[in-house]
Chains A and B, each alone.
Chain A
């Protein structure tokens, strides 16, 4: 009978080994079993959709759980800051605006991800455009992963600007050829030309231009996109916000005043009520065929070509922001006349990023979820899916057109769209958005005065002088020397 008991023993050992091996294998797959990550970001669909898209796959792969908390965009910053300052450690990671990096990374509220990113070969860090690598860099260290690429471009209706009859009428009125605007002057003239009449032929009144003027509705970035060309001397740093030597605000210099005069004048070339438009209105109104021109992030192109209700699909051209035939040099205090437009694409907002809180108890899991959204395959899916609010930020996103076509884009809109974004991002005079502690305060102070100028309460010069005075107060409060050091660091200038 010995062989029978030996057989039983063999069977038991075999079964035990199989079960142990299986357990071991499942233990390896379920790397974060029992871990629940609380993620905070903007209300769905935009941005939060990326979390909703990839959470099930991540949960299945790692055994962890994702608890998504959302807030309206206007409250996201305050929710995060409240959590940081009160030390509640309420969240493990966040998808937030890179513009807040100065407050978050500057105050060490975020985990330094440099070593993890450098060790993560599958992330393909080098595929992320250098501009966006910069948006997550603070003091030479990496504090988040880019998940979105943001740059302002101009959209135009090809059926309007390429119409021979309108071309002839435009030339007769303005004395030069109608074409996609190369300068802000041409942009203004086109907006005026197409404003207030039925140039579509559908029996309705149509308008010239769509931009966001509402305070709290991203007006700051729209104005800055106009100003960039007037003040950005190629190769010179510190043109946009502060003098890097003194931290004196630049925003009321003659270049900015000229830009604000241009911008305020556009209010009358848009649909009624444009003064209360935010960027969401720009997108929906352009897709509804309201205007000939629009300035916005990549979303207007997406909504225009992929929304089933859009009436402009296949009629959209996209171009780099127009330039200016004169540029103001803050160092010399003089305007320089040019023969070719000075173009300065503005990386407004800088894109959404995914950062891990310094207080998280699960840094590995939190990083793993961030990289799940940022890695090449998933990020391509995200930027070519409706309502994620995410735009291309990797070189590979521009190379493969199949996903874009599946998304609903048609030619020639698609090539024009991707071409304009790519040209903006690789432009040598591209200007980064402000990234300093207190960015939200600077932004609100300027936006309040922009709204007053747009409403005609005060002149553009008075508005910008008031904003500059407020910026001076903020800088003094936050510490001028400290702010100068951080600003110079951000610009890549040596410490002074």
Chain B
């Protein structure tokens, strides 16, 4: 009769094998872990350290512990609050409009349509362009004397608009550019969501005589909600970092009326070379994005629980 190993022995054997596998896996994991440490973890920790430092550039980079002075300066900095307000405004307006337009386009294309593939391609083209290129395209469009927008306005007898030279208009010009650039992202994600919905439920509802609006309100949209929330989260996270288009179109002006948090951090960190305070602004953006992302994930989970 064969000896049956005890539970303790089996467990010890399994743990031993796991340990051995772990030590075998280590050399394979090491390169990836090293790269992660070098290029992600270390720069992040260094940025955190900078926010609590005083930086001297005399005779090379020297850090001194500065306590909370950068964070106190941040709270007292009018320009920080202005750029935070601008960023939140751009994110709120641009992402909302992009979602509505993207959803509308996705619903339009998600039906048998002649040339549907052609329109799909056309709609996503702006997303394929680099933000810098888009900045220059819209800079020309907004040009006050030779830009097509004002030429068009003049042709129909309307006065020209200071698209990028008037304080109260410039931020909307930035938002329009962002909407043009990123609506395709919403469109493509929501279209994919719509196409993955179970067709039998929609067909059953149609057989039951549900109107188009009721179908959308009570069936399509609730089923699409997780995809919609994911699209809004992803787009918002990206929108918080807006910089390229503003840099090219207005440079943050007129005055500081279109300066975003990232642009403010860039000016402070790389134009004034105030590295510690620039890092503090960047870190505040990170914290803001983290809070927004966690809140949105929680909202998603709540909806998923409700649906279950």
A275 to B254, CA, bound (A): 7
A contact residues, total (Cβ < 8 Å): 37
Alpha-carbon separation in the docked complex, A165 to B150 (Å): 33
B241 interface hit (Cβ, 8 Å): no
B178 to chain A, nearest CB (A): 18
Smallest CB separation, A211 vs chain B (Å): 14
Choose one: B61, B79, B162, B257; the contact of A273 (CB below 8 Å).
B162
Segment at the interface with B among A131-139, A319-327, A451-459, A487-495: A451-459
Cα distance A425–B61 in the bound complex, in angstroms: 38
A sample of 16 more A-B contacts (CB under 8 A), given A276-B254, A455-B254, is A84-B60, A214-B253, A216-B271, A272-B144, A272-B162, A273-B144, A276-B253, A440-B272, A441-B273, A444-B268, A448-B79, A448-B267, A455-B257, A456-B167, A458-B255, A477-B54
| Segment touching B, from A33-41, A73-81, A147-155, A426-434 | A73-81
Tell me if B167 and A276 are in contact (CB < 8 A): no
Contact with B along A258-286 (1 / 0, CB 8 A): 00000000000001111110000000000
User: Are B271 and A85 in contact, with the CB atoms below 8 A?
Assistant: no
A457-B271 CB under 8 A given contacts A85-B57, A107-B57, A276-B250: no
- Residues of chain B with a CB closer than 8 A to A271's CB: 144-145
Contact of B251 among A85, A214, A453, A458 (CB under 8 A): A214
Task: Please measure, in the bound complex, the distance between the C-alpha atom of A457 and the C-alpha atom of B160, giving whole angstroms.
Answer: 22
Chain B nearest CB from A466 CB (Å) reads: 8
Of A215, A273, A437, A458, the contact of B145 (CB 8 Å cutoff): A273
B270 contacts the other chain (CB 8 A): yes
Closest to B276 in A: A477
Contact of A108 with B by CB under 8 A: yes
Q: What are 26 A-B contacts with C-beta separation under 8 Å?
A: A75-B270, A78-B270, A81-B57, A84-B60, A85-B57, A85-B61, A107-B57, A107-B58, A107-B59, A214-B253, A215-B251, A216-B271, A272-B160, A273-B144, A275-B165, A275-B254, A276-B250, A440-B273, A444-B268, A444-B272, A451-B253, A451-B255, A453-B255, A454-B255, A457-B257, A458-B255
B30 to nearest A CB, angstroms? Answer: 26
Closest B residue to A74 using CB positions? B271
Interfacial chain A residues near B120, Cβ < 8 Å = none
A276 near B164 with CB under 8 A, answer yes
Q: Is A272 in contact with B145, judged by CB distance below 8 angstroms?
A: yes
Inter-chain CA distance A283–B180, complex, in Å, is 32
Q: Does A25 contact B (CB under 8 A)?
A: no
- Do B251 and A216 touch across chains, with their CB atoms under 8 A apart? yes
Question: How many angstroms between the C-alpha atoms of A486 and B51 in the bound complex?
Answer: 29
Inter-chain CA distance A103–B57, complex, in Å, is 9
Point out the residues of chain B lying under 8 angstroms from A85, CB to CB.
57, 60-61
What is the interface of chain A, defined by CB distance below 8 A to chain B? 74-75, 77-78, 81, 84-87, 103, 107-108, 214-217, 271-276, 437, 440-441, 444-445, 448, 451-458, 477
Chain B residues positioned under 8 Å from A451 (CB to CB)? 253-256
Contact in complex: B271, A274 (CB < 8 Å): no
Q: A451-B254, A457-B256 are in contact. Are A273 and B270 (CB under 8 A)?
A: no
Q: How many residues of B contact A (CB 8 A)?
A: 30
> Which residue on B lies nearest to A207, using beta carbons?
B145
Chain A residues within 8 Å of B270, by CB: 75, 78
In the assembled complex, the Cα of A440 lies from the Cα of B274 at a distance in Å of 10
Do residues A77 and B271 form an inter-chain contact, with CB atoms below 8 A? yes
Contacts of B54 in A (CB 8 A): 477
B162 proximity list for chain A (CB < 8 A): 272-273
By the criterion CB–CB under 8 Å, are B251 and A457 in contact? Answer: no
* B254 CB contacts on chain A under 8 angstroms: 275-276, 451, 454-455, 457
Q: Let me know if B255 and A274 touch, CB within 8 A.
A: no
In the complex, residue of chain B having the shortest beta-carbon distance to the beta carbon of A216:
B251
A302, B137: Cα distance in complex, Å? 28
Cα–Cα distance between A452 and B271 once the two chains are bound (Å)? 18
Q: Which residues of A lie under 8 Å from residue B102 when comparing CB positions? A: none
Which residues of the partner chain A approach B167 to less than 8 Å between Cβ atoms?
Answer: 455-457
Q: Which residues of A contact B135 (CB under 8 A)?
A: none
- Smallest CB-CB separation from B164: which chain A residue? A276
Cα separation A402 to B254 with both chains bound (whole Å)? 44
Residues in A neighbouring B273, C-beta threshold 8 A: 77-78, 81, 440-441
B143, closest chain A residue (CB): A273
Taking CB atoms, residues of chain B closer than 8 Å to A84 are 57, 60
Contact A440:B255 (CB < 8 A) given known A85-B57, A273-B143, A456-B167: no
Q: Which of B220-277 contact A (CB under 8 A)?
A: 250-257, 267-268, 270-274
Chain B residues whose C-beta falls within 8 Å of the C-beta of A441 in the assembled complex: 272-274
Given contacts A215-B251, A273-B162, are A448 and B274 in contact (CB under 8 A)?
Answer: no
In the complex, what residues of B have CB within 8 A of residue A77's CB? 271, 273
How far apart are the CA atoms of A274 and B274 in the complex, in Å? 30
Q: Please, how many angstroms separate the alpha-carbon atoms of A77 and B274 in the complex? A: 13
B residues less than 8 Å from A445 (CB atoms)? 272
Instruction: Tell me the complex Cα distance, A87–B62, Å.
Output: 12
A273 to B60, CA, bound (A): 42
